[in-house]
Structure 1
């Protein structure tokens, strides 16, 4: 029998005898594999390729064409579309089906395919106006209940919650009867109404190429290739054809893997393997400690060092292989099951898809991690003293003298590389530099353990025993401490970088109006139209105090805008000044400011950006789309706005008129919050379409919630790794604890010895990880928060999160070790 085969048989039997330890190792190795496999499978399943989406978009048709609103220039390209709108509400040109058919090959058949919204009171529901009974729509929606609708009938998706026989009552139209329930192939959560004759409302926002508006499905006699798309765009049509998707042009961009991508993937692979190895390593060491007598007997019967290494490595192969197999199967199943569940809550769903290439790569890394985790115990098994083990005495391994110097050199090189990488625009180089620091600290860990063990004599007896035992058995302590500081450093670095980015975005947020202010702006309209619009606004907003704002025009009635430029949080920001009276000033300041009111009434500008005022003057640029630009300098005073993120300036009408302009009221302001279902824009738009309604919502982003996901991951890894190492320590310390019990130590003292090991391992790892993570996090803050030369980096530390990681997790691991049951079997003591 070959040595490998014998080693595999011994490893299998040993794994079955120690099922608890084997399960722990498999969980440590398999958990990352399960997560990655599930994520890869989920992403592959929810990602709908253009080829997979072809039937849902086109049915059996050859092309789908949508009208482009007037004033919009569109250019479709194989890798996206670019468009430019004049900023007004969409206005469709009204092309007829016959005019569209003339642009396509002769013999083309068109059926309507209009996308919009159906208004049901205060609710708006996505709606599709087409005939699902036509063969061209086959496969776009599947019928799950009832039948496809005909005139004055509709079908609804199952997410809408209606059943055949229910009635829909759209605004200003006859009721519609629900006769069928349909399903979208890739969007099970979509709420949509479908029928051949619906009272659609067109989108009220600026148009984007999302196929909204009037359109057709086309059954053409010849394909519609990319070569014909520019002509259709120029004619006012957005087009998606079967030939465009199935026969795209050759790639325009190189498909090779770049250096940045290679470094990023390499760093992720190395970090994942390192953490897995460090977490599983102590568990393999547990098995080695328990089997050292068995291995010593094999050595005494003629087994060589190579045989002992093979037996221990076989543990890694057997347990790593089993963990990889189980985790891969569970990960694929979890990914396939999670995709439809998540899609029901919102999102897309494609056909079940398993990306075997990446998954097999992850599985190979998992198997390799098991072997690498068993490598150090295998080397220790080959070097153990047979006589010492058979005599029942513990053996200790010495440190490698050159490792601290190599580790210090790597840390120094990593810090230098981090300083250089911090000035790059890409964060991947900071992560790559952090790997050098991480490996350097790993080599320094034995020295750190020995150094921190020196003050043990000043500790209480239980903690003194714990620390000295950890120092004496550095071979297992190093792995556990390194695993803790690797996880802690990663989490701390990510938290500092993410929170710095959040704070930078929050500090960069600025507005010319305080939060909660409603603004109504009239475009180019006459006095009579504005008077009518103003009266309607007063009627629709009863009891709301409205302040007036004014447009600036020259003698030839050309519209001008006054602006100035400042640097806000390192970014050049262009401000548009407002023109108004003390009523508007009170709204902008959120209070009555006598000094600012007096300045405004005396003909001075009130400015909320102190940097914009120089020598008591505000320099403005007057710009117009139809008139020549001008430069205006006006007297100004600085005042405090209602909120710290607020900027801008307010000019009195008299000051603007002194500069050679005239003012007309075309703006209304109020401190009023509109409800979510408000129809103010639509109602005012019925009076005049040249109207804009805006509500200042303030900064609404929140810190990355994914940070708490990192905390959960750190909780599992730090506490799990610490308890694994603590279990190993308890196994090694059985003779010592038995001696302590024999001389009268109470059970509480014995538990404190075990808990002290957990506190020492997790505490030392957390402190080292805090230092390493803080350096990397500060370095990450620069590329994540700067936007060009001269822009200072924002550095912010999420202290509650960091304290939870660095202080909370070690305390939790210690508490878990304190309540863990540690039985003391009878031990033989040598006198």
Structure 2
């Protein structure tokens, strides 16, 4: 029998004999493999490719045509139809009817309406589709699961997410009730809330137009496939084309993903190293305890002629067997969890396609799990080869082997990593900072055994349970150092990402800016005449009776071309381009939220009132007047700085006299009011009936919603830190059985024994958390620069989430200790000789 085969048989029998320890190792190795495999499978399953989504997009039709909003021109699609561009400055395309569309596609074409929009049901807005589901062209788009398909007027079908059944009624806002006659299911979107009917009144959604979503259009059955050669002519007619021939032909083939660049390679490499390091550190104590329990067995093999290579091979076989089994089981469970989880996640939002497993990355992850088992067993294998056979057979514990060069090498690696962090901080990508954190963590792992050894001296001042815990941890420093380093790595990663994420969140909050106060309702029109504007203003006054309205004006040149008066200012380090408003005292009062006599006097005297202090230099504001059809101009106007209504508000207000002195005419085309529209308001729809060139916007202000990602990281840290600490504590508790038996024999109560176990958990998690706090803070501060700067001269935003850091560094060790405190401490009855 070969040595390798014999070692594998021994490893298999040992794993079965110590099933608890083997299961613990497999969980530690397999958990990352399971999670990563599940995420990869879930992501791949929830991605629906254009070919897979063809039936939901086109049904049985050959082509879907979506008309661009009125006033849009210059529609241009790319050959694969994945992207497009539009303009608003050319000749606007006309609105087409079914006859014009049929003529464009050629004789023999049959088209049916396919209008996607929204429907208001009280205060709720749901998707709406106007088409006849009985037509063969829609086959496969929506599958009937209950009732029948709508056929008569005011009959509709709904998706299951709406929660209504056949026979129920829906009451649209401003329309007659609709009768639900059927329930239909989307093939890929179980969370879709949609109403479908052949004559459904779909609300106009030009502001939400998208070629694969909202819009007015048709499904067409064509005598020949619509190819890319036919698309430009259809684009010129204002039709976006989704063709079966384009999606299944050569032009519809997916673009091959580009090769990994240096930055991506470094980032993936750093993530792989971090995951493997964490797994090795978590599984290392279990292998170390297993080695101590097998020292005599290995010493007997050495006494019978086994070489150091044979001993290393036996211990490495443990890692191979347990790592391979863990990777195999975790991969199978991860694939199953990802496949089942995709359908569950899709019910909350998103889409789910056919089950799909990305085999290359999944197999790579499984191989990494196997490699992790071997690496975790590597240090115990080296220790097994170096043990003194005579000492072990005599029953004496081998002396701890300190390697004086290891802490020094670790310190050098830490210093090198810190230097790399300083350099990486100035790079535009955060991947370099994360990569530079790897040598810092590796160096700290090498320093940890030395640090654990130095903590034994202060233990003499502690109470008995803690003193026993610390001294036992120092005595078995190989086991302890691995667990401490695992907690350190998790804490450092979580603290670094927490500081970086929170700083980025605060930077986004500080970067928020608006030209209007929070709560402002803004209504403005484009190039329309005075008659249309007067009708629009009258409709606004009718819809908002008693609401004070402040007017805004457009600037036009002698030829009637509209000009925008803009200036550029830095806001939170970002160059922000603002359009100056034109108005009178009413608009000034709205923008300031109060009456400011100084600003009002300046506006009345013909000066600009500016809310961006950095934009005013020497009492002047420089504006650039630009137009789509006229030459640009530069204006230098007198200005005063005033305080706006909101903290994050900027902008400027120009008096009409100042603009007219510059050679422009002014025309009222904006209305502003401090008013929030109720959910049931039909203002947008009613104004669109007056003129489609109207825009209605409401300034919501900055929504200070806490970033949930931070607490997601805290949950992950909770699982790893508490789980890893408890696993190491259970190993230590089993390893301390002789000491605990002695303490019990001399009268120690069960509470003292539990304190000893809890002391081990507090020592491991506390020391690891303190080391991780230092390393994570350094990396987190370095991450703030690439994550929050927006160009040269922009300082980094540094914000530390104190509650999060305290929860990680203090709360997790306390929680781990509390969990260990309730650990079972009863010892098995010892057999005594008569």
Q: TM-score, normalised by structure 1?
A: 0.92
Q: How does 1:200-599 map to 2 (within 5 A)?
A: 200-205=202-207, 207-210=209-212, 212-249=214-251, 255-553=258-556, 558-599=561-602
Q: Distance in 2 between matches of 1:522 and 1:56?
A: 37
Return closer, same or farther for 1:175/1:441 CA change in 2, 3 Å cut-off: closer
Q: Distance in 1 between matches of 2:550 and 2:112?
A: 50
Q: Distance in 2 between matches of 1:761 and 1:767?
A: 10
Q: Distance in 2 between matches of 1:599 and 1:170?
A: 50
Q: Distance in 1 between matches of 2:136 and 2:557?
A: 60
Q: Distance in 1 between matches of 2:829 and 2:301?
A: 25
Q: How does 1:650-665 map to 2 (within 5 A)?
A: 650-665=653-668
Aligned mate of 1:159, from 156, 161, 183: 161
Deviation of 1:123 (Å): 4.8
Q: Distance in 2 between matches of 1:572 and 1:125?
A: 38
Deviation of 1:697 (Å): 0.9
Structure 1 residue 179 corresponds to structure 2 residue 181: yes
Q: How does 1:90-101 map to 2 (within 5 A)?
A: 93-101=94-102
Structure 1 residue 76 corresponds to structure 2 residue 77: yes
Q: Distance in 2 between matches of 1:752 and 1:119?
A: 63
Does the aligned pair in 2 maintain the 1:164–1:179 contact within 8 Å? Answer: yes
Deviation of 1:235 (Å): 3.1
Deviation of 1:810 (Å): 1.6
Deviations 1:652-679 (A, max 9, x none): 4444455455544433322222234432
Deviation of 1:371 (Å): 2.1
Structure 1 residue 645 corresponds to structure 2 residue 648: yes
- Give the aligned partner of residue 196 of structure 2: 194
- Give the aligned partner of residue 669 of structure 1: 672
Return closer, same or farther for 1:828/1:480 CA change in 2, 3 Å cut-off: farther
Does the aligned pair in 2 maintain the 1:438–1:486 contact within 8 Å? Answer: yes
Which deviates more, 447-456 or 266-275? Answer: 447-456
Deviation of 1:599 (Å): 3.7
Q: Distance in 2 between matches of 1:317 and 1:607?
A: 71
Deviations 1:675-717 (A, max 9, x none): 3443222223333433322211112364431222221111111
Aligned mate of 2:609, from 606, 609, 620: 606
Return closer, same or farther for 1:288/1:180 CA change in 2, 3 Å cut-off: same
Return closer, same or farther for 1:776/1:523 CA change in 2, 3 Å cut-off: same
- Give the aligned partner of residue 133 of structure 2: 132
Deviations 1:630-669 (A, max 9, x none): 4333333322222221112233444445545554443332
3-state SS of 1:440 partner: helix
Structure 1 residue 799 corresponds to structure 2 residue 802: yes
Q: Which runs of 5+ in 2 are unaligned?
A: none
Return closer, same or farther for 1:641/1:99 CA change in 2, 3 Å cut-off: closer
Which deviates more, 744-753 or 688-697? Answer: 744-753
Return closer, same or farther for 1:691/1:101 CA change in 2, 3 Å cut-off: closer
Deviation of 1:806 (Å): 1.5
Deviation of 1:202 (Å): 3.1
Deviations 1:791-810 (A, max 9, x none): 22222221211121122112
Deviations 1:769-822 (A, max 9, x none): 122222222222222222222222222221211121122112222222233233
Deviation of 1:572 (Å): 1.4
Q: Distance in 2 between matches of 1:200 and 1:726?
A: 63
3-state SS of 2:105 partner: coil
Q: How does 1:36-55 map to 2 (within 5 A)?
A: 36-55=36-55
Deviations 1:574-601 (A, max 9, x none): 2222333444333323334344344444
Deviation of 1:226 (Å): 2.3
Return closer, same or farther for 1:197/1:462 CA change in 2, 3 Å cut-off: closer
Does the aligned pair in 1 maintain the 2:282–2:482 contact within 8 Å? Answer: yes
- Give the aligned partner of residue 32 of structure 2: 32
Does the aligned pair in 2 maintain the 1:734–1:827 contact within 8 Å? Answer: no
Q: Distance in 2 between matches of 1:257 and 1:740?
A: 59
Q: Distance in 2 between matches of 1:160 and 1:252?
A: 37
Structure 1 residue 16 corresponds to structure 2 residue 38: no
Q: Distance in 2 between matches of 1:447 and 1:79?
A: 62
Does the aligned pair in 2 maintain the 1:116–1:128 contact within 8 Å? Answer: yes
Does the aligned pair in 2 maintain the 1:72–1:83 contact within 8 Å? Answer: no
Which deviates more, 319-328 or 776-785? Answer: 319-328
Deviation of 1:177 (Å): 4.4
Q: Distance in 2 between matches of 1:759 and 1:526?
A: 76
Does the aligned pair in 1 maintain the 2:117–2:215 contact within 8 Å? Answer: yes
Deviation of 1:52 (Å): 0.9
- Give the aligned partner of residue 707 of structure 1: 710
Deviation of 1:67 (Å): 2.4
- Give the aligned partner of residue 58 of structure 1: 58
3-state SS of 1:650 partner: strand
Find runs of 4+ consecutive structure 1 residues off by over 6 angstroms: 171-174, 250-254, 826-829
3-state SS of 2:240 partner: strand
Does the aligned pair in 1 maintain the 2:123–2:679 contact within 8 Å? Answer: no
Q: Distance in 1 between matches of 2:342 and 2:143?
A: 20
Deviation of 1:723 (Å): 2.1
Deviation of 1:258 (Å): 2.8
Return closer, same or farther for 1:739/1:179 CA change in 2, 3 Å cut-off: closer
Return closer, same or farther for 1:409/1:827 CA change in 2, 3 Å cut-off: farther
Q: Distance in 2 between matches of 1:251 and 1:50?
A: 9
Deviations 1:524-553 (A, max 9, x none): 445554444334323322343333333344
Does the aligned pair in 2 maintain the 1:735–1:828 contact within 8 Å? Answer: no
Q: Distance in 2 between matches of 1:477 and 1:510?
A: 52
Does the aligned pair in 1 maintain the 2:750–2:826 contact within 8 Å? Answer: no
Which deviates more, 549-558 or 409-418? Answer: 549-558
3-state SS of 2:64 partner: strand
Which deviates more, 284-293 or 800-809? Answer: 284-293
Q: Distance in 2 between matches of 1:637 and 1:672?
A: 28
Aligned mate of 1:764, from 764, 767, 775: 767
Q: Distance in 2 between matches of 1:572 and 1:630?
A: 20
Does the aligned pair in 2 maintain the 1:159–1:190 contact within 8 Å? Answer: yes
Return closer, same or farther for 1:168/1:820 CA change in 2, 3 Å cut-off: closer
3-state SS of 1:424 partner: coil
- Give the aligned partner of residue 821 of structure 2: 818
Q: Distance in 2 between matches of 1:371 and 1:27?
A: 15
Return closer, same or farther for 1:247/1:474 CA change in 2, 3 Å cut-off: same
Deviation of 1:348 (Å): 0.8
Return closer, same or farther for 1:595/1:777 CA change in 2, 3 Å cut-off: same
Deviation of 1:301 (Å): 4.5
Q: TM-score, normalised by structure 2?
A: 0.91
- Give the aligned partner of residue 151 of structure 2: 150
Q: Distance in 1 between matches of 2:676 and 2:173?
A: 25
Does the aligned pair in 2 maintain the 1:87–1:206 contact within 8 Å? Answer: no
Return closer, same or farther for 1:753/1:661 CA change in 2, 3 Å cut-off: same
Does the aligned pair in 2 maintain the 1:85–1:206 contact within 8 Å? Answer: no
Q: Distance in 2 between matches of 1:257 and 1:625?
A: 41
Aligned mate of 2:724, from 721, 726, 744: 721
3-state SS of 1:646 partner: coil
Return closer, same or farther for 1:164/1:820 CA change in 2, 3 Å cut-off: closer
Does the aligned pair in 2 maintain the 1:66–1:211 contact within 8 Å? Answer: no
Does the aligned pair in 2 maintain the 1:781–1:794 contact within 8 Å? Answer: yes
- Give the aligned partner of residue 697 of structure 1: 700
